[in-house]
Amino acid sequence: MNKIKQYFAVVTLLLLIQQVAFAQEPELAPDRKAAIDSLALEKVRDLSKYISIIGDKETPFSEANRVIERAMELFADGAQMGVSSLNSSEVKYYGIRTYFRRLMALNYDKVKISWFNIQYISDLERQPDGRYVGVITIYQRFEGISEDGMKYQDTTKKDITVFVERKQTQIGGRLIGFWDVLLGDIRVSETTQ
Amino acid sequence: MTSNNLFRKFLLKNHSLLLVAIFMGSLAFTSCKKQPVATGPTAEEQMIAQAKSELQALLNNESMSIEEKERRLQAIKDKNIQDAEVQSLIAQVEAQIAKAKAEQLRMEEEEKRRQAELERQRKLESSPAYKLNNFFNSIGSASSADAANAQISQALGLFSSPSAPVLIIIAQSGGITDYDEPTTIQKYLNYLKDQKKKADTIENIVFDDAGKIKELELTKLR
């Protein structure tokens, strides 16, 4: 019984030390924080361009596949993309790779996708595990024209969870500290015409 | 009647005629005295005139070399002519020579600067950083994926491997350097092609023994 008490005491002490250490960890200098804010926004803009390339019917198949691989690198494992339509109130969620495959195969003759008003709705905040988490909102304009000339278009507001974590790696004998930005789920918050 | 009396009578009778004769005689004497000597200019006068002529010619000659002008001027100065006009002309030629020398010096300096700039430009254009920047620009602004791919293939020739690491600085503060996630040159070049973006600024290049780029460091801070 004493051993159990001792065990819990040690665990509690370790947790306390961790909490104190976290509390004492200095905040990022404003310019460093601004740099990671900007980096995360840039990753979202990069995704916007990748989505427009993948969806574009003019993009050669091999190029689209290569771009899908690059776009996949932006996402955290298991991230999902919400897809909505004016024709249905339901929002469907797909794994990111599945979403890209579906986007490539959309049954339109021409597809044009653009993102605008990309901004933080929830600033990057440091979490107890040291990661920074924030939410960036975007508006997506989708235009699809079918072979018979029918045009579908909508504008969807989407919220993207962003995770930013400082990591280290060894390159050329040097220890490099870098910020790993990963995008999480992209959730649909509204769809309009 | 003595001869003296006769002479006196003659004088009294012809004194008017005599006065005229004396006057004419004095006139002839005076005019003979004022007549110039029928000889040419002196040697000194000739030297002065020649010096003036030569100095004027030096002033007017724009094609003669500075060295030749200096040589001719010195020859005139050596004659040590004490004539105000000659001295003034000498001063003018000296001023002209000084001005020409200053202009020549300025042009030589300008030429040196131009040559140095050309050399710097030649070195810059043959440097891997310059070539790489050109590739970055042409990939980012390529008119088609095929055109960009051709540029990417050429650019990769500068590198030891398509997987050569590319580091991108995003912040530097308090002695800490923050990077974006490291990537490879092949991915970075394709990134420029896809995003049609201006490349980040080259911060540092590490070469291997064969002179190929084995590591590239870029920065977003400039």
Instruction: Encode pLDDT of B26-50 as tens digits.
Output: 555 555 555 555 578 898 999 999 9
Instruction: Show the domains of chain A with their CATH numbers.
Output: 29-192 (3.10.450.50)
A183 versus B40: the higher-pLDDT residue is A183
Q: Which residue of A has its CA nearest to B173?
A: A32
pLDDT tens readout for residues B69-86: 999 999 999 999 999 999
Mean pLDDT of B129-152: 95
Residue B15, pLDDT above cutoff 70: no
Distance from CA of B158 to the nearest CA of A (A): 18
Looking at the complex, report in whole angstroms how far the Cα of residue B177 sits from the nearest Cα belonging to chain A. 7
Q: Tell whether pTM > 0.95.
A: no
Q: Which pLDDT tens digit goes with each residue over A153-169? A: 999 999 999 999 999 99
Q: Give contacts of B171 with chain A, Cβ < 8 Å.
A: 31-32, 34-36
Is residue A22's pLDDT more than 50? no
What is the pLDDT at residue A1?
53
On the question of pLDDT at A12 being above 90, the answer is no
How high does pLDDT run on average in chain A? 91
pLDDT of A23 reads 46
Q: Cα B23 vs. chain centroid, distance in angstroms?
A: 75
Nearest by CB to B178, which of A32, A49, A67? A32
pLDDT of residue B126: 87
Q: In the prediction, which pLDDT does B3 show?
A: 56
Q: What is the largest CA-CA distance in chain A?
A: 80
Residues 26-55 of A with CB under 8 A from B: 29, 31-32, 34-36, 38-39, 46, 49-50, 53
Q: What is the pLDDT of residue A7?
A: 64
Which is more confidently placed, B32 or B21?
B21
Percent of all residues in chain B with a pLDDT value above 90, rounded to a whole number: 76
Confidence (pLDDT) at A6: 72
CA distance A162 to A123: 10
Q: With 70 as the cut, is the pLDDT of residue B52 above it? A: yes
**What are the residue boundaries of the structural domains of chain B, listed by start?**
43-123, 129-219
Q: How far away is chain A from the Cα of B157, in angstroms, using its nearest Cα?
A: 20
| Beta-strand relationship, B165-173 and B183-184 | antiparallel
B66: which residues sit within 8 A by CB, 6+ positions away?
A: B97, B100, B101, B104
Question: What kind and span of H or E run contains A79?
Answer: none
Percent of chain A whose predicted confidence (pLDDT) is above 90: 84
Structure tokens at A161: 């969870």
Buried b (16+ CB within 10 A) or exposed e, A75-97: beeebbbbbbeeeeeeeeeeebe
For B176, the closest chain A residue by CA position comes to A177
Complex confidence, ipTM: 0.86
Instruction: Tell me how far apart the alpha carbons of residues B135 and B156 are, in angstroms, rounded to a whole number.
Output: 10
Contacts of B220 in chain A (CB under 8 A): 35
B194/A70 CB distance under 8 A? yes
Tell me: pLDDT of B207 over 60: yes
A147 has a pLDDT exceeding 60? yes
Share of chain B above pLDDT 70, in %: 83
Q: What is the pLDDT at residue B222?
A: 86
Reference A68, options A84, A56, A82; nearest CA is A56
